[in-house]
C-alpha cells in the first residue's frame, strides 16, 4: 500500500508542484477581490514601496520564477490587454479551476477527460453568461455610472469623471476596434480632477511662459521627423563648394520656416528634436514647438485635429500642398499649473481626457489605476452589455451547469463539475474578504436564486444579507466575465496537461 502511494505521488509530482505555485499566486491577489478587499504592499529591491488593490499591477510587479506561475501571470496580462479590467477575477477563476481539476485527477479521473470536461464546461458557461446579458442604451444610460462606480472601487468622483468623458466621446468612438478608453486617463499630484474636452499633452514647449495665453483657431503640423536643415558630411564643409551648399541649405530651411508662418501654423509637434534656429524662429513668431513627443500622443493629436503626419521633406512642397497636411483646433495653450498643453475643438474625431488628481504621488498612482479600470469597464459594457455583479450570476450559471452535467455519461462530467465549483469561487472569496462564512453565504445565495428564479441575488458585503445585485446597482460588464472565464479555462487546461517538467539546456 505504501508503495502504491509513492507511485501515485511520483505520478502526480509535477501536477501537484504546479498547482502549489498557482495557489501561491492566487493567494497574493484574491484578498483584494470585492468591495471589502484589502491592499497589497509590494517592496522593490531598492526599498521602494507600492501599495495597491489592483490585481493587474500586483501580478505585473511580482517577482515570479516558477514557470507554471508565469503562465497564470500571462492570463492576467491577456485580460488586461484585451479588456482592461477583471484581472483578479480571471486569476481567481484560473486558480480554482486548477485546484478542482487536480482534485479530480488525483481521485483517478484521467487528465485528458478532466481537461475535455473543463473545456466543455467553460464553453457552456460562457454561452449562458452571454445569453443573460442586458444591453446598454448608449452613453447616457444611467447603468454606466453604476458600472464605473463598481469597477472604480466605489470612488464616486472617479465614476462621475469617467461617465462624463464617455458621454463626450460618444458611443461611436467606444466601439472603435483599436480605441482604448483607459488610455485617456492621466494623473498629476494635485488635488483637482477634471474632464478636459480635448487633449492634454505632457511635453513642455520651448519657452513655455510665452504660450500660457489661449490661442484660438490654430493650425497644427505633425512631423515624424526632426525640424532641422539637411545635413552635409563634415568633409564637405571644409571646401568652398561644400560651404556654399551648406549656406544654401540653411537658406532653404529658413524659407520652410517662413512658409509655416504664412500658413498660420501655431503648433509644431515632432517625434525628434529641433534645430536651435528652428526653436528661436518659433519662439519669435509665437509658434508652439513640442519636441520628442511619444508616437501614441502624436497619433492622438492627428486624430483630434485632422492633421496628416509628414516627413521633413514635406516642407519643400508648395503652400497649398503643405496646407493639406495641417490639422486645426479651436483652442491651444500651455497650462503651467499642471505642466501640460491643452488642445480642444479639433477638426478631427472628438476626444476627452480624464485628469485624475490627488494630494500625494503614491495616492494619485492608485487613483489613476482605479480610473483606468472604471474606463475599461464602461467601454466593455457599451460594447458587450452587462450582468449582475458580486459573483451572483456565476452562481446561477453554476447551477445550470450542474443540471447540464446530469445529462452527461462520460468521465468528462468530472471536468464540468470542476467548472461548476470554480464559478462559485468569486462570490465565496468576496464573502470571505468581507468577514463572512463563504460556504454559508454561497448556499444562501443559491437558495434565494432558486426560490426567486433570478440570477441577480448576491451578498451585501456590509451586512452579509442576501440582496438583489441588479436592484442595488452592483453590475459588471459581460465581456469582463466571459473573457476572464475563457482565459482561466485555457490556462487551467494547459497546466493540468503538464506531466513532466524538464530543464532545457542553454542555447549555444
Q: What is the pLDDT of residues 156-186, one digit of tens each?
A: 999 999 999 999 998 788 998 889 999 999 9
33-71 confidence digits (pLDDT tens): 988 888 888 888 888 888 888 888 888 888 888 888 888
d(CA 491, CA 485) in angstroms, rounded, equals: 10
Cα of first residue to Cα of last residue in the chain, in angstroms, is 47
Three cell numbers written together for 143:
447603468
**CA 73 from centre of chain:** 15
CATH tag, 2-134+386-496: 1.10.560.10
- Over residues 449-482, the pLDDT tens digits come to 999 999 999 999 999 999 999 999 999 999 999 9
Distance of alpha carbon 279 from alpha carbon 289, whole angstroms: 7
Across-strand partners of 216?
A: 331
pLDDT digits (tens, 9 = 90+) for 83-95: 888 888 989 999 9
Count other Cβ atoms within 10 Å, centred on residue 447: 12
Integer-rounded Cα radius of gyration of the chain:
28
Are 390 and 458 in contact by the 8 Å Cβ rule? The answer is yes
Looking at residue 243, what is its pLDDT?
59
Name residues whose C-beta falls within 8 Å of residue 196's C-beta, 6 or more positions apart in sequence. 342, 344, 352, 353, 355
Whether the CB-CB separation of 69 and 22 falls below 8 Å is answered with: yes
Domain ranges of the chain: 2-134+386-496, 136-194+354-384, 198-351
Main-chain phi, psi angles of 388, to 5 degrees: -60, 140
Q: What angle do CA 270, 272, 276 make, to 5 degrees?
A: 90
Task: Enter the CATH code of domain 198-351.
Answer: 3.50.7.10
Length of the chain (residues): 508
CA–CA gap between residue 257 and residue 278 (Å, rounded): 7
Q: What CATH code is assigned to 136-194+354-384?
A: 3.30.260
Q: 259 with 285: CB under 8 angstroms?
A: no
Q: Which of 156, 136, 139 is nearest to 148 (CA)?
A: 156
- Which helix (H) or strand (E) covers residue 64, if one does? none
CA atoms of 204 and 290, how far apart (whole Å): 7
Residue 133 parent element (H or E): none
Evaluate whether 405 touches 373 at the Cβ level (below 8 Å): no
Q: How does strand 265-270 pair with strand 215-223?
A: parallel
pLDDT in tens for each of the 508 residues of the chain? Answer: 344 454 455 678 888 888 898 998 888 888 889 888 888 888 888 888 888 888 888 888 888 888 888 888 888 888 888 888 888 898 999 999 999 999 999 989 999 999 999 999 999 999 999 999 999 999 999 999 999 999 999 999 999 999 999 999 987 889 988 899 999 999 888 878 999 999 999 889 988 999 999 999 999 999 999 998 876 565 555 566 665 666 787 888 888 899 999 999 999 999 999 999 999 999 999 999 999 999 999 999 999 999 999 998 899 899 999 999 999 999 999 999 889 999 999 999 999 999 998 877 778 888 999 999 999 999 999 999 999 999 999 999 999 999 999 999 899 999 999 999 999 999 999 999 999 999 999 999 999 999 999 999 999 999 999 999 999 999 999 999 999 999 999 999 999 998 887 778 877 6
Q: How far are the Cα atoms of 227, 296, 333 from residue 293, in angstroms, in the given order?
A: 13, 8, 16
User: CA-to-CA distance for 137 and 52, rounded, in angstroms?
Assistant: 33
Amino acid at each position: 500500500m505504501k508503495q502504491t502511494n509513492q507511485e501515485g505521488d511520483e505520478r502526480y509530482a509535477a501536477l501537484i508542484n504546479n498547482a502549489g505555485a498557482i495557489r501561491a499566486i492566487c493567494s497574493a491577489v484574491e484578498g483584494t477581490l470585492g468591495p471589502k478587499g484589502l491592499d497589497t504592499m509590494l517592496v522593490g529591491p531598492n526599498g521602494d514601496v507600492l501599495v495597491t488593490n489592483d490585481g493587474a499591477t500586483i501580478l505585473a510587479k511580482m517577482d515570479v520564477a516558477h514557470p507554471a506561475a508565469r503562465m497564470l501571470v500571462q492570463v492576467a496580462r491577456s485580460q488586461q490587454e484585451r479588456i482592461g479590467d477583471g484581472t483578479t477575477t480571471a486569476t481567481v477563476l484560473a486558480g480554482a479551476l486548477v485546484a478542482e481539476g487536480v482534485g479530480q485527477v488525483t481521485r483517478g479521473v484521467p487528465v485528458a477527460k478532466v481537461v475535455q470536461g473543463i473545456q466543455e464546461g467553460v464553453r457552456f458557461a460562457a454561452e449562458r453568461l452571454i445569453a443573460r446579458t442586458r444591453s446598454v442604451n448608449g452613453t447616457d444610460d444611467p447603468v454606466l455610472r453604476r458600472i464605473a462606480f463598481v469597477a472604480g472601487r466605489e470612488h464616486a468622483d472617479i465614476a462621475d469623471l469617467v461617465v462624463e468623458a464617455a458621454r463626450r466621446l460618444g458611443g461611436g468612438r467606444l466601439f472603435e476596434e483599436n480605441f482604448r478608453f483607459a488610455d485617456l486617463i492621466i494623473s498629476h499630484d494635485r488635488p483637482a480632477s477634471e474632464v478636459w474636452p480635448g487633449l492634454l499633452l505632457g511635453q513642455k514647449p520651448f519657452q513655455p511662459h510665452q504660450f500660457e495665453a489661449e490661442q484660438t483657431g490654430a493650425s497644427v503640423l505633425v512631423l515624424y521627423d526632426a525640424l532641422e536643415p539637411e545635413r552635409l558630411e563634415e568633409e564637405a564643409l571644409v571646401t568652398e563648394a561644400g560651404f556654399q551648399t551648406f549656406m544654401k541649405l540653411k537658406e532653404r530651411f529658413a524659407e520652410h520656416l517662413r512658409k509655416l508662418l504664412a500658413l498660420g501654423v501655431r503648433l509644431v509637434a515632432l517625434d525628434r528634436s529641433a534645430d536651435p534656429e528652428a526653436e528661436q524662429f518659433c519662439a519669435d513668431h509665437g509658434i508652439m514647438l513640442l519636441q520628442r513627443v511619444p508616437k501614441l500622443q502624436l497619433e492622438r493629436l492627428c486624430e483630434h485635429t485632422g492633421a496628416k503626419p509628414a516627413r521633413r521633406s514635406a516642407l519643400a512642397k508648395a503652400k497649398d500642398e503643405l496646407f493639406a497636411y495641417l490639422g486645426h483646433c479651436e483652442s491651444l495653450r500651455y497650462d503651467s499649473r499642471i505642466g501640460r498643453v491643452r488642445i480642444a475643438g479639433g477638426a478631427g474625431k472628438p476626444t476627452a481626457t480624464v485628469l485624475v488628481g490627488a494630494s500625494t504621488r503614491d495616492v494619485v498612482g492608485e487613483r489613476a489605476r482605479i480610473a483606468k479600470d472604471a474606463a475599461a469597464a464602461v467601454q466593455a459594457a457599451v460594447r458587450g452589455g452587462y450582468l449582475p455583479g458580486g459573483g451572483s450570476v456565476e452562481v446561477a450559471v453554476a447551477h445550470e451547469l450542474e443540471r447540464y452535467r446530469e445529462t452527461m455519461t462520460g468521465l468528462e462530467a468530472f471536468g464540468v463539475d470542476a467548472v461548476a465549483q470554480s464559478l462559485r469561487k468569486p462570490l465565496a472569496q468576496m464573502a470571505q474578504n468581507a468577514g463572512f462564512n463563504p460556504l454559508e453565504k454561497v448556499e444562501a445565495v443559491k437558495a434565494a436564486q432558486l426560490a426567486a428564479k433570478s440570477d441577480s441575488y448576491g451578498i451585501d458585503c456590509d451586512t452579509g444579507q442576501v440582496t438583489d445585485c441588479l436592484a442595488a446597482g452592483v453590475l459588471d460588464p459581460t465581456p469582463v466575465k466571459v473573457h476572464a472565464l475563457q482565459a482561466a479555462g485555457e490556462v487551467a487546461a494547459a497546466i493540468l496537461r503538464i506531466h513532466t517538467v524538464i530543464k532545457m539546456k542553454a542555447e549555444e
